[in-house]
Amino acid sequence: MSEYDRRAGSGTHSHGRESSADAADSSFDLSVFAKDSLRMLLRLFWLPLLLAVVFSALFCYNAKRSYRPMYKASATFTVNVVGMSGASASYYSKSTAEQFARTFPYILTSGVLRNLICEDLKLKTLPASINAYVEGTTTLFTLETTAADPELAYKVLVSAIDKYPQVANYVVGNTELTLISPPAVPSAPYNSLSYASCIKKGAALGILLGIAVAVIAAATRKTVRSTSELKSILNLRCIGTLPYERVNRRLRNKDSVSLRDDDVTKNFGDSIKLIRSRIQKSAEEHGDKVILFASSVPGEGKTTVALNTAVALAQEGKCTVLIDCDVRKPATIGDFRGLKPAGLVEYLNGTAELADIISQPVDNLFVINGNTTADNAAELFRTDKMAELINALREVAELIILDSPPCAILADAQVLAGYSDCAVYVVCREYTRKSSLVNGIGNLSHTGIRFIGYVLNNAQSSASGLNYGRYSRYGRYSDRYGRYGRYGKYGKYGRYGKSK
C-alpha cells in the first residue's frame, strides 16, 4: 500500500459548504452591488461608447435609407360669403372660415374634391395630401398640399384652389376666396434629413444599454469579492493577500511575477514574505515538510504564489524543493535558466533518475519541472515511484512545495494531497466563482489534509481585467482546459473529478 492510499483512507468530509455557498450567493447588499456595478462599468467603459457609435451609425443609415423628401405648397386666403345680389358679406367671413376648417375633413373624406382634382390633372389617383386650417382667430384660411414632387404639390394646390369653392358651396353656401399669399413651387423639402437627431438617439440608447449590461453583469456575477465574503463560505484563515501586479513584458518574455525581478513592487514583495513567514511558522509547529499549493480553477495565480513562496523560503536559507505537478499543462516554472530537460513525468515513467530531473537555479532552491505532457496524471501520481520521490526529498529538503493542477475540475490534486502534510489554497478575487471554490475545497477536504489557510490573490483589483496580471499561464480558464477543463464541465473523473 502506497503512502497515498494510507493517507487518503483517513479522509473526513466537509459539512455544510454547499449551503454556505448558496447562502452567500443569495445574500444581497445594496452598497456592495452599487460598488460592483460601478467597478464593472469602469471595466466595460468601452462598451457604452462602442454601442453609442454602433447605434448612431445604424440610426443614420436607417434614416438615410428610408428618407423620402416631401415638398409642401401653400396659399392663404380670406373667405367671404356672396349674397343673393352678388355682394360679399365680410362681417360673416370669420365664422365662414372656421366653418370651412371644421367641414374640410368631411369634404376630403367624401372624395369629391380629390376626384375633381384628379379629373383636372388627368390622374387616376392623387399622390398628395391636402390640408386646410384657419390662422388663429383671424379670417385667414390656409390651404396646403404635400407631395414627393415639388411640381406635383404646386399643381395639386392650384387645382384645389380652383375646385375647393365649388365643393364647399354645397356646405356653407356661395363663397369667394380672396388670394393673399399666392402658391409657388416649393424649392426645398420641408422634412430635411437630420443626422444630429439620429446621433443623439443612438448615443443615448447605446449608453443606456451599456450601463444596463454593466449592472446586469454585476448582479449575475457569483465570484469571490473579499475576505469577509470568504469567511461566510470557508472555515479557513487568510494567511496573506497579494496585490495586483502587472508584468513588464518589455523587460523579458515571461508569464509571471517573481521576487527576483528588479521591477517587482515593495508591496508585492512584502506580501510574499508575510505569506512565507506564516507558512513557515505553521510547518514548524506541526512538523510539516510537504506543502500542497492548490486552487479551484486555472488562472488564479497559484503557480506564481507557489513559485514566489519557494523563492522567499530559499532566500531565508531554507532548503526548498519546488515541483511542477501540473503535467497536463506543463510549462517552465518562472524565468529560471539552465533547468534540466527531463522532468516529473520521465521520472514516474522510469526513464530518468532523480539526479536527471532536479535542478538548482538559485541558492537553496531546487526545481523539478513538469515539461512532458501526461494525460494519465492521476494514475502516475498513484504509483510507487511518486511515493519514492517524495520520501527521498523528505530526507534532504526542509520544505517541499507541490504546485498542483486545479482541484475543482481534476482529480490530480486529490491524489497529491495524499503525499502532502498540509495545503495552501489560492483564491483570486473577482475571478473565482463561489461554486468552484466550494467544490475545490470540498474535494481536498475529503482527503483529510490540513489547511494552513488561503491566499487572496488580486486583492487590489484593476479596471483592466479580472485575472491577476499575467501571473497564470492558463489565461481566463485556459484555452486547453476550456471553461472547466478539457474533460468536460467537471472533468472525465465524474462530477468532482474523482477517478472511477
The CATH superfamily label for domain 74-181 reads: EIF_2_alpha (3.30.70.1130)
Residue 26 CB-density burial (10 A; 0-12 exposed, 13-18 middle, 19+ buried):
exposed
Give the mean model confidence (pLDDT) for residues 475-487. Answer: 39
pLDDT tens digits for 70-104?
999 998 887 666 654 454 454 445 565 566 666 65
- Give the integer Cα–Cα distance in Å for 366 and 362: 8
Name the strand (E) or helix (H) holding 351.
none
pLDDT tens digits for 220-246?
777 777 777 787 778 888 999 888 776
Q: How many CB atoms lie within 10 A of CB 408?
A: 28
Question: Between residues 159 and 338, which one has the greater pLDDT?
Answer: 159
- What pLDDT, on the 0 to 100 scale, is given for residue 219? 78
- Is the per-residue pLDDT at 58 higher than 90? yes
Q: Judge whether 149 and 123 are in contact, CB under 8 Å.
A: no
- What pLDDT, on the 0 to 100 scale, is given for residue 347? 93
Amino acid letter, 479:
D
Name the strand (E) or helix (H) holding 380.
helix 377-381
Domain ranges of the chain: 3-27+232-457, 30-67+193-222, 74-181
- Give the integer Cα–Cα distance in Å for 236 and 250: 38
- What pLDDT, on the 0 to 100 scale, is given for residue 137? 64
Q: Give the SS3 label for residue 72.
A: strand
CATH of the domain spanning 3-27+232-457 = 3.40.50.300
Q: Judge whether 394 and 320 are in contact, CB under 8 Å.
A: no
- Give the integer Cα–Cα distance in Å for 467 and 102: 72
Listed in sequence order, the DSSP H helices in 92-194 are 93-110, 112-121, 150-172
Which of 194, 158, 151 lies closest to 177 in space, CA to CA? 158
Which of 81, 78, 70, 72 lies closest to 181 in space, CA to CA? 78
- What pLDDT, on the 0 to 100 scale, is given for residue 332? 54
Please give the angle made by the CA atoms of 295, 221 and 489, to the nearest 5 degrees. 50
Report which listed range, 32-46, 125-139, 379-393, is most confident: 379-393
- Is the per-residue pLDDT at 3 higher than 90? no
- Is the per-residue pLDDT at 169 higher than 90? no
CA 452 to chain centre: 34
User: What does the block give as the cell for 255?
Assistant: 508569464
User: What does the block give as the cell for 455?
Assistant: 491566499
The helices-and-strands tally (H runs, E runs) of the chain is 17, 13
Report which listed range, 77-86, 192-201, 254-263, 481-490, is most confident: 192-201
Residues counted in the chain: 500
Pairing of strands 88-89, 71-82: antiparallel
pLDDT tens digits for 270-308?
999 999 999 999 999 999 999 999 999 888 888 889 999
Per-residue confidence band for 167, with pLDDT thresholds at 50, 70 and 90: confident
Pairing of strands 365-368, 320-324: parallel
- Give the integer Cα–Cα distance in Å for 180 and 177: 9
Give the mean model confidence (pLDDT) for residues 28-34. Answer: 70
Q: Judge whether 316 and 280 are in contact, CB under 8 Å.
A: yes
- Give the integer Cα–Cα distance in Å for 381 and 412: 8
Output the pTM of the full model: 0.60
- What pLDDT, on the 0 to 100 scale, is given for residue 34? 81
- Is the per-residue pLDDT at 105 higher than 60? no
- Give the integer Cα–Cα distance in Å for 312 and 332: 19
Query: In the chain, pLDDT over 90 holds for what percent of residues?
Result: 37
Pairing of strands 450-457, 238-241: parallel
How distant, in Å, are the alpha carbons of 15, 72, 149, 274 from that of 187?
Answer: 83, 9, 10, 81
Amino acid letter, 448:
G
Which positions ≥6 away from 5 have C-beta within 8 Å? 418
Name the strand (E) or helix (H) holding 396.
helix 384-396
Q: Judge whether 303 and 274 are in contact, CB under 8 Å.
A: no
